[in-house]
Amino acid sequence: MQKKHFSKNASKERHVIITIKRLGINGEGIGYYKRKIIFIPGALPDEVVVAKIVKDHPQYLEGELVRIKEASSDRVPFPSGVDPRIGGLELAQLSYAGQLKFKKDNLVSALEKYHPRGYKNYKIKNTIPAPDQWHYRAKAQYQIERENHHVSLGLYAPNSHQLIDLPEMPTQSEDTQATERAIRDLIIKLRVPIANRRRNLPGVKTIVVRQAEASQEMQVTLITVGHKLDNLLQLADEIMRLPKVVSVYQNETDWQNPQVWGNKTSKLRGKNQITEEIMGKKFDLSPRSFFQLNPVQTATLYSEALKLLSLTPDMTLIDAYSGVGTLGILAADQVKQVVGIESIPEAVLDAQHNVELNHVRNAEYLQGSVEKLLPRLKEDGLPIDALIVDPPRTGLAKSLIKTLLRVKPASFVYISCNPSTLAQDLVLLGEAYDVRVIENVDMLPQTPRCECIAKLTLRK
């Protein structure tokens, strides 16, 4: 039987020399050891590396980079002072040109793996670069923990409960990081309880800081285990005095909840929303509403998607998975009518409010799941002339794909943040649709993630 974990001594003997063939979907170097695939985070294609085998799974090996014997010409220095184990910097040792190429190749690999109909004829565009490759993230969501007398604030190492204290996160905006640290100091000063899972103690568990690029306003949410915490309102008052902070919310969760956020959100101090601006339109955002993490690059993503829709003034546009109504509101003056569908009630309220804020008269936003509401709207006689779907990483529900294959809109645009689920959905949609073009926009430099925009056209 194969050993799952090697002991320290045994692992020393498992130092192996590997030539890296390519990058995997999560940005790890991939090579082969005795014909078994080995994943080595931090190693780059064409490099020869010394790796330690840390886990031996039946189908693959997990390796740890020990030393680079022959470096890739695409290798750049990893940011100094940053723990390489934190998520979000998987590609930071690869040149930016290399990252853009990887993101396109990653999409091609997903298509080759699932091979939707006619994928070899898809026109796959080069990845559109982000203007800022560092400090672009407008939202920080850090965990806080106390261990003896030390308070740590940061991110968990992937697949673990080990919190990595962040001296610096180089993709995070400087304002959001400074505010995170200031809040940690206030929590210590005011002796606000910090949640402790092991001892089942209530307290603050996560600090979320989101900033609107346009207005620079910051919204703080304290995710707590338990509702009433000592000095919480005093903390909220002091947070309100920090530069650019305009509101403080509390979100309650419990240890049973596997998600970071709980279901109950209440405002402690300040304004209800912060205001972002994209392509001349204003968007007010509540804490639970989705918004792209890289606001500067968001305008590029949206304008590319809207271009592919080829809108005309007689059309009804369905903005499915609408968030705070961004795409529909941006397109409203090009069409007759916009109907948006979104599942999170707070986001729908934001979208309805944003319609008013932008003096849009031909858009309405409905709360519910796209898979349930879209067939109902069709039965009620709503024409679906233009459609945009922008689902989460899990892709489209199978029932929605069935609806699309039955309703058969002449064309639609699919925005995807996960090439793997996009490729799988295209296999099913390929029954009736051809894909002409897929655009790729880099929203998250230094990570393996990319945002794809596919245009689907009904086959004649």
Ligand X SMILES: C[S@@+](CC[C@H](N)C(=O)[O-])C[C@H]1O[C@@H](n2cnc3c(N)ncnc32)[C@H](O)[C@@H]1O
- The response to whether 28 counts as a known ligand-binding position is no
Instruction: Please report how close the Cβ of residue 397 comes to ligand X at its closest, in angstroms.
Output: 6
How does 395-408 read in b/e, with b if 16+ C-beta sit within 10 Å? bbeeebbebbeeee
Contact segment (CB under 6 A) with ligand X among 64-72, 234-242, 342-350, 442-450 equals 342-350
Of the candidates 74, 342, 350, 451, which one interacts with ligand X according to CB under 6 A? 342
Instruction: Please report how close the Cβ of residue 384 comes to ligand X at its closest, in angstroms.
Output: 16
Q: Is 345 in the site for ligand X (CB under 6 A)?
A: no
Residues numbered 386 to 415 that lie near ligand X (CB under 6 A) are 390-392
Q: Is 111 in the site for ligand X (CB under 6 A)?
A: no
- The response to whether 390 counts as a known ligand-binding position is yes
Instruction: Please report how close the Cβ of residue 316 comes to ligand X at its closest, in angstroms.
Output: 17
How many CB atoms lie under 10 A from the CB of residue 119?
A: 19
Contact segment (CB under 6 A) with ligand X among 157-165, 284-292, 355-363, 440-448 equals 284-292
Print the binding letters for residues 318-337 with ligand X: x by CB under 6 A, - otherwise.
---xxx--xx----------
Closer residue to ligand X, CB minimum distance, 51 or 423: 423
Closer residue to ligand X, CB minimum distance, 99 or 298: 298
Phi-psi region of 410 (alpha: psi -120 to 50; beta: other; left: phi over 0): alpha
CA angle in degrees (0–180, nearest 5) for 169-172-177: 80
Contact segment (CB under 6 A) with ligand X among 54-62, 136-144, 331-339, 384-392 equals 384-392
- Cα 96 off chain centre by: 19
- The response to whether 342 counts as a known ligand-binding position is yes
| The one catalytic residue among 124, 404, 417, 429 | 417
Instruction: Please report how close the Cβ of residue 207 comes to ligand X at its closest, in angstroms.
Output: 22
Q: Rounded to the nearest 5°, which phi and psi values hold at 236?
A: -60, -40
Scan for tokens 């750049």, then name that residue: 76
Residues numbered 362 to 381 that lie near ligand X (CB under 6 A) are 369-371
Contact segment (CB under 6 A) with ligand X among 22-30, 164-172, 263-271, 341-349 equals 341-349
- Establish whether 417 is a catalytic residue: yes
Q: Is 344 in the site for ligand X (CB under 6 A)?
A: yes
Q: Is 343 in the site for ligand X (CB under 6 A)?
A: yes
Contact segment (CB under 6 A) with ligand X among 111-119, 187-195, 262-270, 385-393 equals 385-393
Closer residue to ligand X, CB minimum distance, 248 or 443: 443
- The response to whether 168 counts as a known ligand-binding position is no
Q: Is 358 in the site for ligand X (CB under 6 A)?
A: no
Scan for tokens 């709980």, then name that residue: 262
Instruction: Please report how close the Cβ of residue 393 comes to ligand X at its closest, in angstroms.
Output: 8
Q: How many residues bind ligand X (CB under 6 A)?
A: 19
> Structure tokens of 357?
């804020």
CA distance 245 to 116: 47
Instruction: Please report how close the Cβ of residue 373 comes to ligand X at its closest, in angstroms.
Output: 8
Judge whether 321 and 392 are in contact, CB under 8 Å: yes
Instruction: Please report how close the Cβ of residue 333 comes to ligand X at its closest, in angstroms.
Output: 18
Of the candidates 142, 291, 365, 433, which one interacts with ligand X according to CB under 6 A? 291
Q: Is 347 in the site for ligand X (CB under 6 A)?
A: yes
Known binding residues for S-adenosyl-L-methionine are: 292, 321, 342, 390
State the residues that interact with ligand X by CB under 6 A.
290-292, 321-323, 326-327, 341-344, 347, 369-371, 390-392
Q: Which residues are catalytic?
A: 417
